[in-house]
Amino acid sequence: MFQPQRAGWSEPFVIVGHRARIRFWKGGIKGHKMSGFHDAEPTPEGTFSVEGTVEEVEAEGDVVEVLATIPGNDEEQAKEEAKNHVESAIGLLALCFGEQILGKPIFTEYYFSSATGEEGHIHVPVKHLVEVSIERSLVSLIDEPLAKLFHSTIGPSIGMALRWYAVGLNSDSPVDVYIAFFVGLEALASGYFASINPKPVREECAQLKEYFAEARPPINHRLREIVLNSIAGFPLSMKFDKYWKSRFGHETRESGEFSRLNRLRSELLHGRARSVASQQVNSVKTLLEKLLAKELGLDNVVTTRQAGPKLLDFILSYVTAPSSERPQ
């Protein structure tokens, strides 16, 4: 539910169809907004307490509510597909009526219903970040990376990758997080490839040029250019492979996963996949962090953090899992 920037209507109405309901409400709205749980602490009884906030929110004026209904037994996948469907519907509204219809969310909630369609429960996200104390003496860690960012031959690409890394960390949707991290990888690989001098030439392209030069009768110039241009560019997977080897000297288990991650990215962009698993998000994030660390001389810092304790992950999975699925 959101309030448009500069749009209104004379009376309320609703559009229903294709697993979506779009309600144009008039006169404002009032309700309670729940934040995601942001902490998890053990209690003397051996259970865990979580903290969050509930605040009363009131918006004056016209508001839009977009609701998507997604069937399925996998709650996480259904939640992600519902979010995607809602955001697509919002984009459609903007396309039809202009950007004036857009606005910041007032409420964003998920409801999971039982087979009867009558009973359900509200999904409240849980996110816990361990408190970090940053001392002035530690800030010197940034000096050398900042210099590398400025002086590196692919500095602009590193900067772009860092930007998308931050976007991914600040996103809530697993699909958005995945795409953001992957764009960071693509920026690094493409930036490195563009910096190579002399520019690499694909072996297949060179062989085809020789064939065209000797072909009789001669092949039409226009046709020759079309064919050569179509195979002259290096696929992203080849760019990444050369980039990774230039930094680490050999292929590793992480770099071997890139083709699979790239395939998932393509499936997401072409609509063949609509959700990503947490393990896939972790894989692309780890890959991006390792490369950024290598570029900026932060290998030890990042490796130490990645190898940190996973106790909190277990706690949060326990807190958020249905009681029937919790380990005994």
Give the span between the Cα atoms of 209 and 107, in whole angstroms: 60
- How confident is residue 188, by pLDDT bands cut at 50, 70 and 90? very high
Which among 107-111, 165-169, 232-236 has the top mean pLDDT? 165-169
Tell me: pLDDT of 290 over 50. Answer: yes
Sorted by sequence, the CB contacts under 8 Å of residue 235 that are 6+ apart come out as none
Three-state DSSP state, 239? helix
Q: What is the pTM of this model?
A: 0.74
Domain positions in the chain = 13-123, 136-325
What pLDDT is recorded for position 216?
A: 77
Instruction: Identify whether the C-beta of residue 283 lies closer than 8 Å to the C-beta of residue 185.
Output: no
Q: Which residue has the higher pLDDT, 237 or 323?
A: 237
Q: What is the mean pLDDT of residues 134-138?
A: 74
Q: What is the mean pLDDT of residues 269-293?
A: 91
Q: What is the mean pLDDT of residues 239-266?
A: 88
Q: How many CB atoms lie within 10 A of CB 2?
A: 18
Q: Which residue has the higher pLDDT, 64 or 307?
A: 64
Neighbour-count burial for 189-198, b at 16+ CB within 10 Å, e otherwise: bbbbbeeeee
Question: DSSP string spanning 169-228?
Answer: HT--SHHHHHHHHHHHHHHHHHHHHHH-SSPP--HHHHHHHHHHHH-SSPPPHHHHHHHH
- Average pLDDT over the chain, rounded to an integer: 81
Tell me: pLDDT of 311 over 50. Answer: no
